[in-house]
Amino acid sequence: MQDTELKIIAFFLNNKAIGVKTSTGIEKSDLVVCNADFPYAVKNLIKDKYYKDEYTDEKLAKMKYTCSTFTMNLGLKKEIPELAVHNIYLGKKFKEGIEAAFTGAVPENPSLYIYCPSRIDRSMVKNGGECLNLMLRVPNLLFKEISWNNTDMELLTNKILKELENIPCLEDIEENILYKNYVSPLDMESKFNAYAGTAFGLSPTLTQTNYFRPHYRLSSADNLYFVGNSVHPGPGISLVLNSSKIVAEEILSSKFH
């Protein structure tokens, strides 16, 4: 809804969520399921402090958050059969490189996740070639050392491409690029409403893991449910799907069934 500027706000009555309020009016419903990032949703979509429970803006600011990602999407005119669908490239000083995302720095020799879906779906490309998705872990926007302006983007893009040239089947990657774009932490925040541009929501630290994560429902508001990275049971595709399963089962077993 970010693109349509509806500015959805949770709408409550007598401790119950009864719909959402937008710039075009109130859309009533029996219940509300929110799959926006939990910290973003509680901070921006719930205006009444009472319904935030313990998750005030101040508390959210003090919680621990995961890193972000810089993702580059490439369309190549060259087919690369040596690649699998999922590929991991480990750069030099791997440990330091991985830790850099949590200290506010970009590694000198990036380690990358390389996704090549065109290896199994040739309908994604015309006249041969490949589609690549390159993901690098980077600091979230709570770190101020990187501005993520056009100069930063260009430097990081060139660094990643130079690193890829160390892979035998990708040594000529630059001359084979037909299309290139990227998703930065700023995009994560502005396009996907990820709190501080994080890629995986709240960190699964000891005091923020499993049961200690925000639950799928706030105690102050019936009929309002949350799913996603930042709520119980945790981040990652399998756990996010599990959070959706938990909410679905709760709804089906409730009076709405």
pTM (2 d.p.)? 0.88
Domain boundaries, the chain: 9-63+201-253, 68-192
**pLDDT value, residue 6:** 45
Give the model confidence (pLDDT) of 227-247 as tens digits: 999 999 999 899 999 999 999
Return the bridge partners of 73, or none: 133, 181
Length, in residues, of the chain: 257
Q: What does the alpha-carbon distance between residue 65 and residue 98 come to, in Å, rounded to a whole number?
A: 15
Q: Which two tokens stand for residue 207?
A: 């005091």
Q: What does the alpha-carbon distance between residue 57 and residue 60 come to, in Å, rounded to a whole number?
A: 5
Give the model confidence (pLDDT) of 45-70 as tens digits: 988 888 899 999 999 999 999 999 99
* CATH architecture label of 9-63+201-253: 3-Layer(bba) Sandwich (3.50)
Contacts of 232 (CB under 8 A, 6+ apart): 210, 211, 213, 214, 215, 216, 243, 246
Give the model confidence (pLDDT) of 152-205 as tens digits: 999 999 999 999 999 999 999 999 999 999 999 999 999 999 999 999 999 999
Q: Which two tokens stand for residue 131?
A: 């589609």
